[in-house]
């Protein structure tokens, strides 16, 4: 289709060029023909005039051999006969036919009528009537050159031609035979040809304009087709690309899923490492007091043994104490092991049990850092959830509050835990007076690797993991907002 259009375009262009050449050729031919017609018409006229003036000349020469004026003056009948002869040629085309004799004077401007072929009385001149032709130079030329001439009357739109034929006697021009004839027919033909020429030119110009317009449109159409073709090709390439993309899309999605899983694994690993660090820190803290007690007991035993005052009952008392402290240490390890062991199944617990369990671990740290712990527990109802995971989230929230209070060195700092039931939801709020979270980062704090703590203190995974545990594992909602004194984290479980 497209190639066919191009073929048509070239054929049309060729046709346009042929038409233009043909038009030019026709114009040339027309101009040539026009000149031929007008020349032929002109020549025909002149030839006819030439012939009958020669005829009249012969007639005069036959009858008058010398002294033309005198002969005509004296012989009226001859004058009448010759005038009759002249009048034979008078018609609407050959209007005036007369014989003039030049009056010899200084400027040679004056002529006198010798013969006049006019039949109309008002137009007929008298014998020897004075006459001054407008084109006197042409008349004098005939006298000088002794040959016939013709000229157009420039003042009346070349409608009239005057033919001057010299009457020569004894090798001298004795008179001039004048024929004024109309070129009206010639002019009509010429005008018609000119009109036709003008119309023809208009048609040619219009045709050229038309051809140019169509050429322009064809050119634009060609350009448009080329653009369309280019766009189609581009579209085809793009479609192929999309097709290829679709073909490999599943593969790429699988690759991305695997990558994400790897990333999740890494996150979990990092989180576990962070938790382990926390746990070790907390265990060390819990162990400090019993270890101090064991150290003090063993020092007391050592002191008494040096002084030889150590008795059997003392040994029993000290070893009992040491054993008790060792049990406490062991119990602490059990607590931590249970605390961080993920629960496979849900169990019925209430918030108070969860809070007590967490407080066992962090109470001593709070006491040491003089952070007040405010409990506002308003609901003891049990609900089915993953207890250890919930403990870990609560521990994370409390530790975060502790960190911010220490970092900002808040006076009379506190962490408040409030539980209550609202509609069917079990709510636990953990708040502090640490000043809250900046509004611009509020919606980013649950994002992975987002932390406001110093790089060495925070991994940026605590709150992300907490959100994942509550929202996805426990099917609840962990949210945050700023209260009057600081941030309030809310856990809502059903």
- Residues in the site for another protein, rule: CB under 8 A? 95-96, 98, 105, 107, 109-110, 122-123, 125-126, 129-134, 160, 178, 180
Nearest to 411 by CA among 396, 386, 394, 433: 433
Residue 167 and residue 143: Cα distance in Å, rounded?
Answer: 9
CB 167 within 8 A of CB 57: yes
DSSP secondary structure of 463-478: HHHHHHIIIIIS--EE
Other beta carbons within 10 Å of 31: 13
Give the nearest distance from C-beta 96 to another protein in angstroms. 5
**Lookup: tokens for 71:** 């002969």
CB 227 within 8 A of CB 32: no
Give the nearest distance from C-beta 208 to another protein in angstroms. 37
Residue 120 and residue 124: Cα distance in Å, rounded?
Answer: 6
Residue 186 vs 426, nearer CB to another protein: 186
Residue 85 vs 112, nearer CB to another protein: 112
Give the nearest distance from C-beta 47 to another protein in angstroms. 23
Give the nearest distance from C-beta 121 to another protein in angstroms. 8
Give the nearest distance from C-beta 143 to another protein in angstroms. 18
- List CB contacts of 87: < 8 A, sequence separation 6 or more: 97, 117, 118, 119
Phi, psi of 53 (to 5 degrees): -70, -35
Give the nearest distance from C-beta 187 to another protein in angstroms. 16
Residue 130 vs 494, nearer CB to another protein: 130
Residue 130 vs 444, nearer CB to another protein: 130
Give the nearest distance from C-beta 130 to another protein in angstroms. 5
Residue 122 vs 154, nearer CB to another protein: 122
Q: Give strand ranges (E) for 298-438.
A: 347-349, 372-377, 383-385, 414-422, 425-432
Residue 354 and residue 344: Cα distance in Å, rounded?
Answer: 17
């Amino acid at each position: 289709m497209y190639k066919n259009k191009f073929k048509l375009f070239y054929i049309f262009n060729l046709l346009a060029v042929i038409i233009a050449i043909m038009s030019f050729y026709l114009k040339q031919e027309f101009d040539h023909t026009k000149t031929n017609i007008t020349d032929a018409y002109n020549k025909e006229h002149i030839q006819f005039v030439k012939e009958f003036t020669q005829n009249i000349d012969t007639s005069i020469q036959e009858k008058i051999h010398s002294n033309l004026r005198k002969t005509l003056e004296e012989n009226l009948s001859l004058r009448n006969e010759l005038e009759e002869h002249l009048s034979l040629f008078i018609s609407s085309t050959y209007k005036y036919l007369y014989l003039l004799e030049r009056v010899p004077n200084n400027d040679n401007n004056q002529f006198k009528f010798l013969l006049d072929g006019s039949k109309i009385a008002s137009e007929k001149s008298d014998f020897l009537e004075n006459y001054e032709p407008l084109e006197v130079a042409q008349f004098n030329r005939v006298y000088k050159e002794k040959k016939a001439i013709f000229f157009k009357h420039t003042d009346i739109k070349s409608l009239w031609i005057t033919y001057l034929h010299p009457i020569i006697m004894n090798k001298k021009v004795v008179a001039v035979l004048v024929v004024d004839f109309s070129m009206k027919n010639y002019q009509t033909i010429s005008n018609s040809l000119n009109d036709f020429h003008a119309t023809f030119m208009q048609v040619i110009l219009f045709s050229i304009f038309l051809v140019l317009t169509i050429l322009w449109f064809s050119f634009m159409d060609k350009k448009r087709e080329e653009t369309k073709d280019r766009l189609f090709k581009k579209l085809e390439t793009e479609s192929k690309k999309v097709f290829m993309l679709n073909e490999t899309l599943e593969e790429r999605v699988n690759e991305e899923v695997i990558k994400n899983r790897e990333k999740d694994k890494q996150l979990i690993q990092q989180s576990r490492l962070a938790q382990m660090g926390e746990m070790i820190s907390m265990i060390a803290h819990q162990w400090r007091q019993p270890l101090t007690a064991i150290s003090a007991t063993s020092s007391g035993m050592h002191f008494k043994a040096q002084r030889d005052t150590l008795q059997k009952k003392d040994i029993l008392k000290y070893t009992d104490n040491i054993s008790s402290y060792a049990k406490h240490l062991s119990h602490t390890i059990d607590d931590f092991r249970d605390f961080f062991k993920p629960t496979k199944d849900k169990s019925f617990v209430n918030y108070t049990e969860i809070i007590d369990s967490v407080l066992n671990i962090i109470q001593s740290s709070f006491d040491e850092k003089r952070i007040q712990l405010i409990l506002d527990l308003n609901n003891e109802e049990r609900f089915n959830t993953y207890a250890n995971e919930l403990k870990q989230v609560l521990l994370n929230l409390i530790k975060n509050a502790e960190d911010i209070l220490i970092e900002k060195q808040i006076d009379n700092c506190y962490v408040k835990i409030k539980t209550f039931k609202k509609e069917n939801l079990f709510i636990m709020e953990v708040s502090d007076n640490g000043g809250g979270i900046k509004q611009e980062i509020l919606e980013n704090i649950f994002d992975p690797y987002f932390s406001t703590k110093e790089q060495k203190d925070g991994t940026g995974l605590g709150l992300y993991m907490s959100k994942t545990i509550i929202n996805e594992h426990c099917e609840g909602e962990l949210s945050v907002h700023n209260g009057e004194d600081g941030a309030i984290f809310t856990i809502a479980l059903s």
